[in-house]
Amino acid sequence: MGVKNLWDILESCKKTLPLHYLQNKRVCVDLSCWMVQLQNVNKSHCPMKDKVYLKSLFHRLRALIALNCSLIFVTDGSIPAIKLATYRRRLNSGSEVENQVTQEGINSKKLSSLRRNMGSEFSCMIKEAKVLGLALGIPCLDGIEEAEAQCALLNLESLCDGCFSSDSDIFLFGARTVYRDICVGEGGHVVCYEMADIEQKLGFGRNSLITLALLLGSDYSHGVHGLGPGSACKIVKSVGDKDILQKIASEGLSFAKKTKNSKNQGRAKCNDNATTLHHEVSTNGSNHNLQRDNQCLQVVEAYMKPKCHSADSDVVHSVLAQHPFQREQLHQLCAQLFDWPPDKTDEYILPKIAERNLRRFAKLRSTSSLLGVDIPLNEIPVKCPVSAIIKCRKAHGKECFEVSWDELDGIKTSVVPADLIESACPEKIKEFEDRRALEKKNQRKPRPKKSEQKCSMAEIDLKLKDLLLDTELGSKSVTIASREVISGKMITATEGNSVYHGLDVILESECKDDHKNAALSPQTSTIAPKHEVVDLLSPSPQVLSQNVSRYTKMNGQNISVIDLSDSETERSPEHAKKARELRLFLASIRDK
């Protein structure tokens, strides 16, 4: 619990930070607080035997491992003697404590600390969490008494960067940075309180917070009856942080009595009995006396000098060392607790372990750079864990890279943030970009120049025209019959030219005759079609029948003119096929 209403008093100092803020930090964890949080979240939905709270702890740990956040579990030891009354009250009749007190023979006024019941259900949960943490490479420090006091000592001695705890009295033990809540899902964050902000914004130091515990109540004291958080804060501020504990040592809580009496007298000037009623402040329903002052001094001493492992002890040094990840032990544990096969366990944890190793490498390069030592990637004594970048990816809207890992058993590739690669090994990004540019260059076809494009387009147009002309000549019915010149003798090249000239004359005269015939017979049902130019140099179709219509004499030679029948110029299946292919070809050209 901690100090009553203290979290509400510190609300203005609360900061919600992204989970990435914990990168490369060492943080102590009050394991009891975490297990209580996870148990309360899951016990209403799932039975305890499903161990959902332990699965939630596993996923929380793997998220922090990926950030290279070094965790230290801290567990509670014996119950402080000054806390026994509160502990009995929490257990609803205190059967567990009372049985142990009877066995230990603690019946005197001065009680000693009480060993916890390690066979309780909650103690078994703590044991499971410790074993899971050790398999993941997370050490555990068993406290002498209060776990939050041990966490605060490590933070105060700068042996860790912060503490995870939901007990507000951790500030009274000397903690400087406290993380109260954590969320590891999408958009993960932590709720953080800094002692520096509390001192600056509220004017409360460690001494002031201890005084608030005496006035409002905490695990060690009942507080002043009828005094609220607002009045308590005003009383503490009126004295000041430096002198507040000295004033308590000399006067006890009488200064609080005087402050409250003056307020009560001002409110009841017209009532003489009112001042008499509030003449003294009752502390938990009893008069303030010497015994109460001694109890206040004991509370102050419990907060200022808690029983903890010293910062230079061997136990503390052992947990501060780096502990290895035990893969085989984790396989066995997850199979026993969650019924997971080894492949599933590796799928969950190995990408996070690989990302943690890369962050450690990035931290090494960053530290050496700050010291003015810039070593090339291939000359660093510690080998880069990334073998190569495979492709670009996006995860939760963030730019990422899929990379292949070097010398990491059980995993070949995984996705990591792009900014992490940039800080750890920017040389790998350059290699990836150069390789991708080369691949694109090899795949790209050379584009022709504009002049070559014009020439090629002109050639295509010419070929299309010729092809279209040949197809139309073969598919349409021709009204003017083709003439073939038959000569009995061999025609020389010069003679051939004269014969072609003569044939042009004959064709021209025939065209005139056809125009005349069409004009003389307008009432006929057949209309003469438009004449088309016939390429005499192209091969002629196979002649089925030849009828000699008339003879013409040119250059002293007899020339036979052949008329082709209509059946010879009808559309053949071959012509239809060629025409269809041409139309398809033209359509594809238009589309392109």
CATH of 341-443, one of 2.40.50.40, 3.40.50.150, 3.40.50.2300, 3.30.365.10: 2.40.50.40
Q: How far apart are CA 33 and CA 40, in angstroms?
A: 11
Q: How far apart are CA 399 and CA 391, in angstroms?
A: 11
CA angle at 5 for the pair 191 and 215, rounded to the nearest 5°: 135
The domain covering 6-91+116-252+295-320 belongs, at the CATH homologous superfamily level, to: 5'-nuclease (3.40.50.1010)
DSSP secondary structure, 466-496, as one string: HHHHHHHHHHSPPSS-----B-SS---HHHH
Question: What are the sequence ranges of the domains in the chain?
Answer: 6-91+116-252+295-320, 341-443
Predicted pLDDT at 541: 53
Q: Under a CB-based contact definition with an 8 Å cutoff, are residues 287 and 280 in contact?
A: yes
Q: How far apart are CA 114 and CA 123, in angstroms?
A: 15
Per-residue pLDDT for the chain (592 aa), expressed as one digit of tens each? 689 999 999 999 999 999 999 999 999 999 999 999 998 876 665 666 678 999 999 999 999 999 999 999 999 999 888 888 777 776 664 444 444 443 443 343 455 677 777 778 889 999 999 999 999 999 999 999 999 999 999 999 999 999 999 999 999 999 999 999 999 988 899 999 999 999 999 999 999 999 999 999 998 988 888 889 999 999 999 988 998 998 888 888 877 766 655 555 444 443 444 333 333 444 444 444 566 778 889 999 999 999 999 999 999 999 999 899 999 999 999 999 999 999 999 999 999 999 999 999 999 999 998 988 888 888 888 999 999 999 999 988 899 999 999 888 889 999 999 999 999 999 999 999 999 999 888 876 666 555 555 556 667 777 777 777 776 666 554 444 444 433 443 333 344 444 344 434 434 444 445 444 444 444 444 444 444 454 544 555 554 444 444 444 444 555 444 444 444 445 577 777 877 888 787 777 777 6
Question: What are the Cα distances from residue 382, in Å, to 73, 363, 426, 429?
Answer: 29, 12, 16, 19
Neighbours of 39 (CB within 10 A): 18
- Which one-letter DSSP state was computed for residue 198? I
* DSSP H or E stretch at residue 459: helix 450-475
